[in-house]
A and B are shown apart, each in its own frame.
Chain A
Amino acid sequence: MTTTTAAHDDHGHHGPAKGIMRWVLTTNHKDIGTMYLWFSFIMLLTGGVMALIIRAELFQPGMQLIEPEFFNQMTTMHGLIMVFGAIMPAFVGLANWMVPMMVGAPDMALPRMNNLSFWILPFAFGMLLLTLFSEAGAPNFGWTFYAPLSTTYAPSSVTYFIFGVHLMGISSIMGAINIVATILNMRAPGMTYMKMPLFVWTWFITAYLLIAVMPVLAGVVTMMLMDIHFGTSFFNAAGGGDPVLFQHLFWFFGHPEVYIMILPAFGIVSHIIPTFSRKPLFGYSSMVYATASIAFLSFIVWAHHMFTVGLPLVTELFFMYATMVIAIPTGVKVFNWVSTMFQGSLTFETPMLFAIAFVILFTIGGFSGLMLAIAPADFQYHDTYFVVAHFHYVLVPGALFAIIAGVYFWLPKWCGNYYDEFLGKLHFWLSFIGVNITFFPMHFIGLAGMPRRIPDYALQFADFNAVASVGAFIFGFSQLLFLYIVIKTIRSGKQATPEVWEGADGLEWTLPSPAPYHSFSEPPQVK
């Protein structure tokens, strides 16, 4: 401890280095958190442009704007970029900023590794995006890259995709190890596990999910690489392999991945709702146990993505019931959020609006998930727009709204200024209306039988598709307003108080606003 203190004293009196090298060489958790957040925002806009290309093509039946081949590349890249480039790095960025401040640590446990895990990402996604300009075109086999479509029948750019996934996997694993090491070793004296803020708890569990399943994903893409280039037959039936094996392995990663993208969102919302209800969170310990049980259950439900591949009856039943069990801990969480608001002294600032929208719209996504969990019904819903509606409801007004809520919530702490409340609310209402116009009609066209991942469709789906496309453009362009609000807040705005929000509770609010470059060099005492 003495050595770290001395080291801090050496450069503690001056701020960050000047110029571009500050960002390249930084080991400061706040700098790295900022870079993660900007990176994920750039990826959100990139993936968003792809989504708008898809929606523009689907505005009318028939082929208008793009070739079907390019359409497939767009759906694939949109999925990959949003999942691995936008949502996951945004959560890592928030963790970088907030976890050390919430547990009273001076920085992340492994600051240099932190720098490396961020700087891998631009290369991973650069490699992935460059395939768009290659002769073979970008990957076109869907973000789930089912073999043998992604091996035997893949464009030659698939190898770049594989290495891209390797890189982002390494980045995620390093980020997760860093977060676990920070939480295990760097908590302020007196901060026992059951006193940890919920964002820290949810990220702690998420980090374990990442450590457990990202290597399996790396293994799957390695097998693909070997099948394509080294003559093995993991997924090729002709050589003794099995394509269904691919799906089992992929979803063994893929289902915990779903919770990797939502558990930190639960944590964020569990901070915002108590703050603006001016009440402590209802049922803190049940929240912790619910998060842990969701994480555990996420490992034994993967085959509900595969009901139609020809599973035996007992397997279908097992995965159906196991999936439905997840509704119980999730229900506990929703109940706790609502109970926190009950008889609270509520105000509706922008973060609270996004958090309440999260609770309502995520629950809608959860219920359509329950419908999909019913194995016999899934034979009807499988691979339709109903599935698209379901996972966009849990990922956009779910994960993404929670991230945006978190940004509004913590932005005054980060840059010392309040954001413009009127513009924040305008951003909320445009996003809220846009998101529902986009994704709600997809439930109907899905139930009516429109398959996903197609560039053209039958006439009877035309009206709802047109509505969804209009909503997508409203939602997409309203995120530019978000960009404007954030830049405006960084440059100017009302000076924020240290506690920022009236009902705020936690170590991070004891620091001045903006949070100093080096915080908690001396650990605070938690009572």
Chain B
Amino acid sequence: MSSKPNVAKSAIKHLFVALAMFGFGFALVPLYDVFCEITGLNGKVTGTVEKVDYTVDTSRTVTVQLLASKNAEMPWRFMALQEQIDLHPGEWKQIGFWASNTTASDMVSQAVPSITPARAAEYVQKTECFCFQQQPLAAGESKQMNMVFTISPELPEDIQTVSMVYTLFDATEFADPEKVAKLN
């Protein structure tokens, strides 16, 4: 029952399975994003969308809470200009955050959004957001950073409050060095 060619065959076959699983580990990185995008889990929002003119649902009002948060290693000042706003589903609003590079060096930031409840994430639509790009600020510079969004009228009735958190990270080391140099 034992024969060398068969042993070699099963060894090579399983070695390929192992290699494929190594690849699968890396494939999980984009797959995980795709999965979050399809299901709207993890509070992730799809990127920029075309502006749609919804029939505004004036029968209800959704409270949107805006929170600015910083990564522990981010020295900037960062705050929401309004702590909360009310909007009718389908109504487009612009809101602003304010960031200030209080350090003596030019830096680049990246904001990472998160939406609670996660169920609401798929209904939040943005045509413009400072989180879509890295935001550079020269030493000592301050800037208002905007976001234009709506919440689609299909939002489930039981959701009355949506929290949007933006966490600001120091992305200087990941930024294009030319972009940073242009700041001066």
Best-buried of A178, A185, A187 by chain B (most CB within 10 Å): A185
- Contacting B171 at CB < 8 Å: which of A110, A185, A238, A249? A238
- Contacting B14 at CB < 8 Å: which of A177, A312, A315? A177
Q: Does A215 lie within 8 Å of B7, measured CB to CB?
A: no
Encode B95-125 as 1/0 by CB contact (under 8 A) with A. 0000000000000001010000111000000
Q: Does A216 lie within 8 Å of B25, measured CB to CB?
A: yes
Q: B61 at the A/B interface (Cβ < 8 Å)?
A: no
Q: Does B18 lie within 8 Å of A177, measured CB to CB?
A: yes
Q: Does A238 lie within 8 Å of B71, measured CB to CB?
A: yes
Q: Does B174 lie within 8 Å of A239, measured CB to CB?
A: yes
Query: How far apart are the CA atoms of A214 and B174 in the complex, in Å?
Result: 30
- Which residues of A sit under 8 angstroms from B4, Cβ to Cβ? 4
Q: Does B174 lie within 8 Å of A231, measured CB to CB?
A: yes
Residue in A closest to B172 when the chains form the complex, CB atoms: A238
User: For the side of the interface on B, what is the size category?
Assistant: 35 or more
A424-470 at interface with B (beta carbon < 8 Å) = none
Query: How far apart are the CA atoms of A249 and B119 in the complex, in Å?
Result: 23
Residue in B closest to A241 when the chains form the complex, CB atoms: B29
Query: How far apart are the CA atoms of A212 and B22 in the complex, in Å?
Result: 9
User: For the side of the interface on A, what is the size category?
Assistant: 35 or more
Total A-B pairs, Cβ < 8 A: 124
- Contacting B18 at CB < 8 Å: which of A214, A220, A237? A214
Query: How far apart are the CA atoms of A1 and B171 in the complex, in Å?
Result: 63
Q: Does B1 lie within 8 Å of A218, measured CB to CB?
A: no
Q: Does A216 lie within 8 Å of B21, measured CB to CB?
A: yes
Q: Does B2 lie within 8 Å of A523, measured CB to CB?
A: yes
Query: How far apart are the CA atoms of A223 and B119 in the complex, in Å?
Result: 30
Query: How far apart are the CA atoms of A313 and B118 in the complex, in Å?
Result: 9
Residue in B closest to A233 when the chains form the complex, CB atoms: B174
Q: Does A109 lie within 8 Å of B21, measured CB to CB?
A: no
- Contacting B22 at CB < 8 Å: which of A178, A186, A219, A231? A219
- Which residues of A sit under 8 angstroms from B15, Cβ to Cβ? 177
Q: Which applies to chain B's interface (DSSP): helix, strand, loop or mixed?
A: helix
Q: A360 at the A/B interface (Cβ < 8 Å)?
A: no
Q: Does B167 lie within 8 Å of A237, measured CB to CB?
A: yes
Query: How far apart are the CA atoms of A109 and B3 in the complex, in Å?
Result: 9
Q: Does A211 lie within 8 Å of B7, measured CB to CB?
A: no
- Contacting A180 at CB < 8 Å: which of B1, B10, B19, B42? B10
- Contacting B1 at CB < 8 Å: which of A177, A178, A185? A185
- Which residues of A sit under 8 angstroms from B92, Cβ to Cβ? none
A168-194 at interface with B (beta carbon < 8 Å) = 173, 176-178, 180-181, 184-189
Q: Does B42 lie within 8 Å of A312, measured CB to CB?
A: yes
Known contacts A248-B32, A312-B41, A239 near B10 by CB under 8 Å:
no
Q: Does B1 lie within 8 Å of A188, measured CB to CB?
A: yes
A223-251 at interface with B (beta carbon < 8 Å) = 223, 231, 233-234, 236-240, 242, 244-245, 248-249
18 contacts between A and B (CB under 8 A): A105-B2, A186-B2, A189-B1, A214-B18, A236-B169, A237-B112, A238-B110, A239-B171, A239-B173, A245-B32, A248-B28, A310-B42, A310-B118, A311-B42, A312-B117, A312-B119, A313-B119, A314-B41
